[in-house]
Each structure stands twice: as structure tokens, then as C-alpha cells.
């Protein structure tokens, strides 16, 4: 299946586009998950000073902030008002807005001749802002699929299904880069091949088993490896499609 050429693919136009690269935002494009985690812990610790919240919060990263807060409160037998949740979300997003791009991501994207999209559990206004600030937005050309534009956020596959539909290609023609079990679960449920990145400031080797169990076909920790991984996948899938 082919679609018409689309601009913004990192300087690699093609007469026809068969395959696509879809990247998560936080933890893949922007090294913001560690910043967000610290702010979440800080905000909850301030409200629950006698509770150790970090061991509960960290495994929930990748979910929508509201889901993280709801789950953390439930596990700890606490509660948060709607005002608290809104204030914490704004504090986390404000902190994450200042995070840098993941090391090597711009160079990697420029070397990959696939049309690209971003699929995020964050809201579109935030994603647009951080991609513009870090200079990554031109790679995606406005192809942003976010939690506030679909029925269900990750771990549901909705943002990934929306991206494939936007491209007009099969789900199996999409390669995804994710950094969390939540995101890998979502992309796997969409029937896409998923590469799991653990090179961000929040990641560790301890996640490898969980990421693979969620459906990651490969786990890597250096964005300089991404162009070769994408090229290998492209050769394999192109052969299968023909």
C-alpha cells in the first residue's frame, strides 16, 4: 500500500511512502521522564509527608499523569481532589517543558528515510511546544497523535491506530520507538513492531525483561543505533510486503 509523498520526513523525500516510524515523545524524543518523575514525587510527598511515594510512582511512568495519580492514591490508601490533580499535572508539564531532547535523536531521525509521526500520552499542546523548542518538530510535520485526541490513552492502542490511519498504511507497516511498558503494550496491541529505548535519564537495564514481555522486539540504549535498527526492519518488512 502506498500513500502520497509527505513533507517533513527529515530531508528524505520519496516518490512513494510504504513504511512509517512512530515515536513516543517523553523518554524517546524528549528526555523528560526523569524530570516528570521527580516532580510527581515532590508534589505527592508534599501532600503526604509521612508516606514514601517514590516506589509506587516510578512503576507507573508512561501512563497519563491523571492515571498515575489515581493509581498511586489507590495503592497508598490516599485521595486527591480534582484541584490537586490539576495542580500536579500543570507542575509536571511545566518541569518537563524544560527538558532537553534525547541525546542523538535529531541525528538519528535525519538518517532514517521514513515518514514520521509522534504518538504520545501527553496532550497535543505540550507535545507541540516541546518539539518546537527542541527543534524536532520539522521531522514530524504536525503528525502528532496525542491522548487528548483519541478515546483511550496508552496502554490502549488508540494513538497508534490513529497514526496508521493518518498515514493510510497497514499497522504492520509501522515501526514504533517506545520507552515504557505502557507504550510498548499500546503499540504491540496495535500490531506494530516496537523497539524499546532505555537510554533516557529515567531508564535502566532492570526494565529490559518487562519491556520484552510487553512485546518489544529489541531493546537498545543509544540513539546512534536507531538508524541501523530501522534499516534492518525496513529491509525485512519490504521483503514481506512484496
What pLDDT does 61 receive? Answer: 77
Identify the pLDDT of residue 203: 55
> So where are the chain's domains?
20-32+101-241, 33-96
The CATH fold of domain 20-32+101-241? Rossmann fold (3.40.50)
Kindly give the pairing relationship between strand 174-178 and strand 115-120: unpaired
For the chain, the maximum distance between any two Cα atoms, rounded to a whole number of angstroms, is 61
Q: What is the pLDDT tens value at each position of the chain, 242 positions in all?
A: 233 333 334 444 333 548 999 999 999 999 987 888 889 999 999 999 999 999 998 888 778 888 889 999 999 999 999 999 999 988 988 888 889 999 999 999 999 999 999 999 999 999 999 999 999 999 999 999 999 999 999 999 999 999 999 999 999 999 999 999 999 999 999 999 999 999 875 556 678 999 999 999 999 999 999 999 999 999 999 988 77
- Pick from 69, 76, 71, 61: nearest CA to 121: 61
pLDDT at 18: 80
> SS3 letters for 25-54?
CECCCECCHHHHHHHHHHHHHHHCCCCCCH
Helix H or strand E segment including 90: helix 82-96
φ, ψ (nearest 5 deg) of residue 143 = -85, 75
* Cell representation of residue 111: 538518517
pTM: 0.82
Amino acid at each position: 500500500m502506498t500513500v502520497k509523498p509527505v513533507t517533513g520526513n527529515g530531508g528524505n523525500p520519496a516518490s512513494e511512502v510504504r513504511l512509517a516510524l512512530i515515536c513516543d515523545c517523553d523518554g524517546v524524543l524528549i528526555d523528560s521522564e526523569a524530570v516528570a518523575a521527580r516532580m510527581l514525587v515532590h508534589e505527592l510527598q508534599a501532600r503526604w509527608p509521612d508516606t514514601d511515594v517514590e516506589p509506587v510512582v516510578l512503576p507507573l511512568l508512561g501512563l497519563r499523569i491523571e492515571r498515575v495519580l489515581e493509581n498511586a492514591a489507590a495503592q497508598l490508601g490516599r485521595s486527591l481532589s480534582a484541584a490537586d490533580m490539576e495542580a500536579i499535572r500543570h507542575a509536571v508539564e511545566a518541569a518537563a517543558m524544560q527538558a532537553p531532547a534525547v541525546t542523538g535523536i535529531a541525528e538519528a531521525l535525519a538518517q532514517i528515510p521514513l515518514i514520521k509521526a509522534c504518538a504520545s500520552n501527553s496532550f497535543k499542546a505540550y507535545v507541540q511546544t516541546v518539539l518546537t523548542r527542541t527543534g524536532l518538530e520539522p521531522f514530524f510535520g504536525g503528525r502528532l497523535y496525542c491522548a487528548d485526541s483519541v478515546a483511550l490513552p496508552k496502554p490502549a492502542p488508540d494513538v497508534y491506530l490513529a497514526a496508521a490511519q493518518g498515514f493510510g498504511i497497514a499497522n504492520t507497516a509501522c515501526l514504533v520507538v517506545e520507552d515504557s511498558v505502557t507504550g510498548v503494550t499500546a503499540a504491540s496491541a496495535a500490531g506494530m513492531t516496537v523497539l524499546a529505548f532505555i537510554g533516557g535519564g529515567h531508564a535502566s537495564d532492570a526494565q529490559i525483561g518487562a519491556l520484552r514481555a510487553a512485546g518489544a522486539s529489541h531493546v537498545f540504549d543509544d540513539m546512534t543505533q536507531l538508524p541501523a535498527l530501522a534499516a534492518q526492519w525496513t529491509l525485512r518488512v519490504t521483503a514481506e510486503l512484496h
